[in-house]
Amino acid sequence: MGVLDSLQQVSITTNRSIPIHKKLSGFESSETLRKQLHYVRSKLNVAAGILIPTGVGLLGWILDKTEVSDDPRIPAVLDELPAAIWFAFGTNLGKYVEQVRAYDEKREKPHKTLVFVIVNSVEDALRAANEWKVDVLVVEGPFCVCEEYVQVTHDFDLLA
Protein backbone atom coordinates (compact mmCIF):
# COMPACT_ATOMS: atom_id res chain seq x y z
CA MET A 1 0.00 0.00 0.00
CA GLY A 2 1.41 3.38 -1.01
CA VAL A 3 1.57 6.48 1.14
CA LEU A 4 -1.28 8.14 -0.72
CA ASP A 5 -3.43 5.00 -0.48
CA SER A 6 -2.90 4.78 3.26
CA LEU A 7 -3.84 8.44 3.64
CA GLN A 8 -7.16 8.24 1.83
CA GLN A 9 -9.05 8.48 5.11
CA VAL A 10 -6.86 11.17 6.69
CA SER A 11 -8.69 14.46 6.86
CA ILE A 12 -6.74 17.67 6.48
CA THR A 13 -8.11 20.75 8.20
CA THR A 14 -6.69 24.22 8.58
CA ASN A 15 -8.89 25.66 11.31
CA ARG A 16 -7.91 26.26 14.95
CA SER A 17 -8.17 22.62 15.94
CA ILE A 18 -5.62 19.83 16.09
CA PRO A 19 -6.69 16.84 14.06
CA ILE A 20 -5.38 13.62 15.58
CA HIS A 21 -4.66 11.19 12.78
CA LYS A 22 -5.07 7.76 14.30
CA LYS A 23 -4.44 6.27 10.86
CA LEU A 24 -0.80 7.13 11.57
CA SER A 25 -0.72 4.71 14.48
CA GLY A 26 2.66 3.03 14.24
CA PHE A 27 1.54 0.01 12.22
CA GLU A 28 3.70 1.37 9.42
CA SER A 29 7.47 1.69 9.37
CA SER A 30 9.13 4.88 10.58
CA GLU A 31 9.93 5.78 6.99
CA THR A 32 6.28 5.43 5.97
CA LEU A 33 5.17 7.54 8.95
CA ARG A 34 7.65 10.23 7.87
CA LYS A 35 6.29 10.13 4.32
CA GLN A 36 2.75 10.40 5.61
CA LEU A 37 3.64 13.41 7.74
CA HIS A 38 5.46 14.98 4.77
CA TYR A 39 2.25 14.51 2.79
CA VAL A 40 0.20 16.21 5.53
CA ARG A 41 2.80 18.99 5.69
CA SER A 42 2.59 19.54 1.93
CA LYS A 43 -1.23 19.61 1.93
CA LEU A 44 -1.18 22.25 4.67
CA ASN A 45 1.60 24.22 2.96
CA VAL A 46 3.82 24.07 6.04
CA ALA A 47 7.55 24.37 5.41
CA ALA A 48 10.01 21.83 6.74
CA GLY A 49 11.18 22.67 10.24
CA ILE A 50 7.89 24.37 11.14
CA LEU A 51 5.31 22.86 13.50
CA ILE A 52 2.63 20.85 11.68
CA PRO A 53 -0.83 21.63 13.13
CA THR A 54 -1.67 17.96 13.46
CA GLY A 55 -1.27 15.12 15.91
CA VAL A 56 -0.31 11.48 15.56
CA GLY A 57 -1.94 8.64 17.46
CA LEU A 58 0.32 5.78 18.57
CA LEU A 59 -0.75 2.52 20.17
CA GLY A 60 1.11 1.42 23.28
CA TRP A 61 1.07 -2.29 22.50
CA ILE A 62 2.68 -1.59 19.13
CA LEU A 63 5.24 0.75 20.69
CA ASP A 64 6.16 -2.01 23.14
CA LYS A 65 7.56 -3.85 20.11
CA THR A 66 8.79 -1.03 17.88
CA GLU A 67 10.58 1.19 20.39
CA VAL A 68 13.05 -1.58 21.27
CA SER A 69 13.58 -2.46 17.60
CA ASP A 70 15.91 -0.99 14.98
CA ASP A 71 12.95 1.05 13.70
CA PRO A 72 11.48 3.07 16.62
CA ARG A 73 8.44 5.19 15.76
CA ILE A 74 8.46 7.96 18.38
CA PRO A 75 11.68 9.72 17.25
CA ALA A 76 10.62 9.50 13.60
CA VAL A 77 7.27 11.11 14.38
CA LEU A 78 8.77 13.80 16.63
CA ASP A 79 11.39 14.68 13.99
CA GLU A 80 8.52 15.94 11.84
CA LEU A 81 7.27 18.43 14.50
CA PRO A 82 3.63 17.43 14.99
CA ALA A 83 1.70 19.67 17.37
CA ALA A 84 0.52 16.66 19.37
CA ILE A 85 1.02 12.97 19.97
CA TRP A 86 -1.70 10.67 21.32
CA PHE A 87 -0.94 7.49 23.23
CA ALA A 88 -3.54 4.78 23.71
CA PHE A 89 -3.92 1.15 24.69
CA GLY A 90 -0.80 0.19 26.60
CA THR A 91 0.16 -0.99 30.05
CA ASN A 92 2.97 1.53 30.57
CA LEU A 93 2.28 4.62 28.47
CA GLY A 94 4.20 6.77 30.95
CA LYS A 95 7.54 5.64 29.53
CA TYR A 96 6.48 6.94 26.12
CA VAL A 97 5.38 10.27 27.59
CA GLU A 98 8.86 10.49 29.17
CA GLN A 99 10.47 9.80 25.78
CA VAL A 100 8.52 12.67 24.21
CA ARG A 101 9.47 15.08 27.01
CA ALA A 102 13.15 14.05 26.84
CA TYR A 103 13.17 14.42 23.06
CA ASP A 104 11.61 17.89 23.26
CA GLU A 105 14.15 19.01 25.88
CA LYS A 106 17.02 18.19 23.50
CA ARG A 107 15.63 20.12 20.54
CA GLU A 108 17.67 23.07 19.25
CA LYS A 109 14.56 25.21 18.82
CA PRO A 110 12.19 25.07 21.82
CA HIS A 111 9.05 23.04 21.18
CA LYS A 112 6.69 21.23 23.51
CA THR A 113 4.70 18.48 21.84
CA LEU A 114 1.22 18.27 23.36
CA VAL A 115 0.72 14.81 24.82
CA PHE A 116 -2.73 13.21 24.84
CA VAL A 117 -3.30 9.93 26.70
CA ILE A 118 -6.39 7.75 26.75
CA VAL A 119 -7.32 6.68 30.28
CA ASN A 120 -10.00 4.23 31.34
CA SER A 121 -10.22 4.78 35.09
CA VAL A 122 -9.88 7.44 37.74
CA GLU A 123 -6.64 5.77 38.87
CA ASP A 124 -5.20 5.96 35.33
CA ALA A 125 -6.29 9.59 35.03
CA LEU A 126 -4.59 10.56 38.29
CA ARG A 127 -1.38 8.78 37.29
CA ALA A 128 -1.35 10.38 33.84
CA ALA A 129 -2.03 13.87 35.22
CA ASN A 130 0.10 13.80 38.35
CA GLU A 131 3.01 11.50 37.48
CA TRP A 132 3.31 11.70 33.70
CA LYS A 133 2.20 15.35 33.46
CA VAL A 134 0.27 14.81 30.22
CA ASP A 135 -1.35 17.81 28.58
CA VAL A 136 -4.71 16.25 27.76
CA LEU A 137 -6.59 13.30 29.24
CA VAL A 138 -8.90 11.47 26.88
CA VAL A 139 -11.30 9.77 29.26
CA GLU A 140 -13.00 6.66 27.93
CA GLY A 141 -14.84 4.08 29.93
CA PRO A 142 -14.58 0.32 29.52
CA PHE A 143 -17.20 0.35 26.72
CA CYS A 144 -15.66 3.06 24.55
CA VAL A 145 -16.09 3.34 20.83
CA CYS A 146 -12.79 4.24 19.22
CA GLU A 147 -13.10 6.75 16.39
CA GLU A 148 -10.93 6.89 13.30
CA TYR A 149 -10.56 10.65 13.68
CA VAL A 150 -10.84 12.83 16.75
CA GLN A 151 -10.73 16.60 16.68
CA VAL A 152 -10.00 18.60 19.82
CA THR A 153 -10.31 22.37 19.84
CA HIS A 154 -8.08 24.71 21.76
CA ASP A 155 -11.15 26.36 23.32
CA PHE A 156 -12.48 23.65 25.60
CA ASP A 157 -12.79 22.96 29.28
CA LEU A 158 -12.33 19.46 30.65
CA LEU A 159 -15.12 18.82 33.09
CA ALA A 160 -14.84 15.97 35.56
At 146-157, the pLDDT tens digits run 543 344 433 333
Residue range 83-98: mean pLDDT, rounded: 93
Residue range 14-31: mean pLDDT, rounded: 58
Q: Are 20 and 59 in contact (CB under 8 A)?
A: no
**pLDDT given at position 54:** 87
- As a 3-state breakdown, the chain gives helix, strand, coil percent values, each rounded to 5, of 35, 20, 45
**Alpha-carbon gap, residue 26 to 85, rounded angstroms:** 12
**pLDDT given at position 109:** 87
Helix or strand run (H / E) with residue 152: strand 149-153
The region that residue 146 occupies, defined by phi over 0 for left and psi between -120 and 50 for alpha, beta otherwise, is beta
| φ, ψ for residue 104, nearest 5 deg | -65, -35
Closest CA to 76 of 91, 61, 50, 56: 56
Residue range 95-122: mean pLDDT, rounded: 93
Q: Are 82 and 114 in contact (CB under 8 A)?
A: no
